[in-house]
C-alpha cells in the first residue's frame, strides 16, 4: 500500500489502516518501525493474529525524515513497536528515527531486541557484549509477578522459556533511575537456581513514567 507517497507494508485486510475511531484492542492503530530485520514481519503477523488487529502498518527506520514522520505519519497511530535488527542502537544508520521516537514521544512503545537495547541506550544505560552470542538460544526468563491486567507479563508463567538472538545486552550495572528491570535470566550454563534480578542478564525493561517497554528476547520467534 502507499502512504504519504511512499510504499509501506500492512497486515492483510479489507480496510485502510486509518479508518478506525474506537480504541479497543482490535482497532488500535499500530505502527511497526522496521530496523531492516527478517523478524519484523513475524511481529506483524503475531500482533495481527493475537489481537485480531488488522490495523498495523510497517515502515523502515529511514523511510521518513523525523519532521516528515512527526507531521505526516505519527498522527495516524496510537502505539509503536520498534523491531529487532542488526547492529547497535547507538549507531544512527542502524537505528534511524527510533532514538527520536523514544526521546520525544509519549504514546505506548514496545522495543524488541535492538528496540529494547535502544531503550536502554537512549535513557542513559550502557550496552555491553553478551557472554556468548545468542542465536536461537532458549533461555528460562523470570519476571516481576503482577496482578495488573495491563502488564506485559499478566498471566504469563514465571519463569517461561523464550528465544534469544543477540550479541549485545543492556548492562545491569549503573542502570539509570528512569528504567526498571521487569524480566531477567541467568546465562550460567546449567544453572537451575533462579537468578538474582540485579546480577542477571536483563531480558525486560520498563520506563518509570512513560509507557515504554523493552524485551530482549523474541516473543515472535
- Position 221 in a domain: no
Question: Regarding predicted confidence, which is higher, 211 or 17?
Answer: 211
Asked whether 142 and 117 are in contact (CB, 8 A), the reply is no
Bigger pLDDT: 161 or 27? Answer: 161
Please say if the pLDDT value at position 12 is more than 50: no
Residues 110-124 have a mean pLDDT of 98
Q: Look up the pTM and report it.
A: 0.86
Range of the structural domain that residue 11 is part of: 2-215
Residue 14, pLDDT > 50, answer no
Residue 71 within a domain: yes
Number of structural domains, the chain? 1
CATH of residue 44: 3.40.50.880
Do the domain assignments include residue 189?
yes
Identify whether 134 is part of a domain.
Answer: yes
Catalytic residue among 113, 116, 143, 166: 113
Q: What is the mean predicted confidence (pLDDT) over 52-77? A: 92
pLDDT for the residue 27: 73
Average pLDDT of the chain is 86
220 is a catalytic site residue: yes
Count of C-beta atoms within a 10 Å radius of residue 103: 9
Q: Check if 135 is active-site.
A: no
Active site residue 103: no
Judge whether 206 lies within some domain.
yes
Catalytic residue, chosen from 116, 143, 207, 218, is 218
220 found inside a domain: no
Report d(CA 28, CA 100) in Å as an integer.
22
Q: Evaluate whether residue 205 is within a structural domain.
A: yes
Amino acid at each position: 500500500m502507499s502512504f504519504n507517497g511512499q510504499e509501506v507494508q500492512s497486515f492483510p485486510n479489507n480496510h485502510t489502516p486509518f479508518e478506525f475511531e474506537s480504541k479497543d484492542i482490535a482497532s488500535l492503530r499500530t505502527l511497526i518501525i522496521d530496523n531492516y530485520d527478517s523478524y519484523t514481519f513475524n511481529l506483524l503477523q503475531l500482533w495481527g493474529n493475537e489481537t485480531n488487529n488488522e490495523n498495523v502498518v510497517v515502515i523502515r527506520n529511514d523511510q521518513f525524515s523525523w519532521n516528515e514522520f512527526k507531521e505526516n505519519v505519527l498522527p495516524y497511530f496510537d502505539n509503536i513497536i520498534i523491531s529487532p535488527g542488526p547492529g547497535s542502537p547507538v549507531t544512527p544508520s542502524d537505528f534511524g528515527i527510533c532514538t527520536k521516537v523514544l526521546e520525544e514521544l509519549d504514546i505506548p512503545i514496545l522495543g524488541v531486541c535492538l528496540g529494547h537495547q535502544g531503550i536502554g541506550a537512549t535513557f542513559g544505560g550502557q550496552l555491553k557484549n553478551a557472554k556468548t552470542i545468542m542465536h536461537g538460544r532458549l533461555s528460562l526468563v523470570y519476571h516481576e509477578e503482577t496482578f495488573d491486567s495491563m502488564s506485559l507479563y499478566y498471566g504469563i508463567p514465571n519463569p517461561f522459556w523464550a528465544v534469544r538472538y543477540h550479541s549485545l545486552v543492556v548492562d545491569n550495572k549503573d542502570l539509570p533511575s528512569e528504567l526498571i528491570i521487569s524480566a531477567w535470566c541467568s546465562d550460567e550454563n546449567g544453572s537451575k537456581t533462579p537468578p538474582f534480578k540485579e546480577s542477571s542478564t536483563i531480558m525486560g525493561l520498563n520506563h518509570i513514567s512513560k509507557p515504554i517497554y523493552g524485551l530482549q528476547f523474541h516473543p515472535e520467534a
